[in-house]
Amino acid sequence: MPHIDVGDQRIEYSVVRGQSRRFTYFRFGPDMTLEVSVPRGRKVDVDRLLTERRAWISREFRKASATRRILGPDHVMFGGNYLRIVHVEDGREGLAPDEARGEVVIRTSDRRGVRELVRRWFLKETSSYVVRKVRESAPLMGVRPSRVDVREIGKWGYCTRGGRLSFSWQLIALPERLREYVVLHELAHLLEFNHSASFRRRLAAVCPDYRARERELDLIVPYDRLSLG
């Protein structure tokens, strides 16, 4: 595969014909290979374009290298560690994680069913974690949520004015320190329903390094982009 050297970075790239008739697009795939999508029906000097975009390529490569994706083509993050996905074509659907071997065996008749089986697995494990963590942490903060649930939401966690706490089913993918941070963040909202200085003081009282954990959380790329409520 051809490559471009940017400083001490060796970046492999592939050239494909895109849908556009005018524009060339650059993007990094999950394997960190740069895809150059050139216009249909036009001759393009790819070498010249790569030279012109060298600074952008270097910057985006560093940024993409720093992120960690929860689900890739052949791996899934669980508890902050990656497990290799071993897909077995089998009509008897099932999922069996083996953390000691660093893999999870997923049986489906169609590989497109992998995501759904991972979702069910994560939903069960996240629910168990959240119930335990909220039970442990809420009394220490002097709060009591009206309800706690795990579901498919557009945030890592969310708190309503009525005291309901909701968490993303993807939470169990995170390392323990980040899972804990999300739970403490939402519990702190039961004391301060905002992101004011007072809220940050409440959060810092139980999670002194919360800013560092926030930065770490920003480097995790879920199935769909999530934020904190």
Structure confidence by residue, pLDDT tens digits, 2-29: 888 887 778 888 898 888 878 888 888 7
The CA R_g of the chain, rounded to the nearest whole Å, is 22
Mean pLDDT of 142-149: 97
Which candidate, 180, 164, 171, 173, places its Cα nearest to that of 212? 180
Residue 28 is which amino acid?
Answer: F
185-209 pLDDT tens trace: 999 999 999 999 999 999 999 999 9
pLDDT at position 227 is 45
Burial class (CB in 10 A: 0-12, 13-18, 19+), 31: exposed
The mean pLDDT value for 46-66 works out to 84
pLDDT digit string (tens) for 82-113?
999 999 988 889 999 998 999 999 999 988 88
CATH superfamily ID and name for 117-228: Metalloproteases ("zincins"), catalytic domain (3.30.2010.10)
Pairing of strands 34-38, 3-6: unpaired
The full 3-state SS of the chain, as one line of letters, equals: CCEEEECCEEEEEEEEECCCCCCCEEEECCCCCEEEEECCCCCCCHHHHHHHCHHHHHHHHHHHHHCEECECCCEEEECCEEEEEEEEECCCCEEEEECCCCEEEEEECCHHHHHHHHHHHHHHHHHHHHHHHHHHHHHHHCCCCCEEEEECCCEEEEECCCCEEEEEHHHHHCCHHHHHHHHHHHHHHCCCCCCCHHHHHHHHHHCCCHHHHHHHHHCEECCCCCEEC
pLDDT (0 to 100) of residue 91: 83
As given in the structure block, the two tokens for residue 2 are: 């051809």
> What does the block give as tokens for 124?
């069960």
Position 31 scores a pLDDT of 64
pTM of the model: 0.73
Residue 223, pLDDT score: 66
Which residue ranges does the chain devote to CATH 3.30.2010.10? Answer: 117-228
Q: How many CB atoms lie within 10 A of CB 184?
A: 22
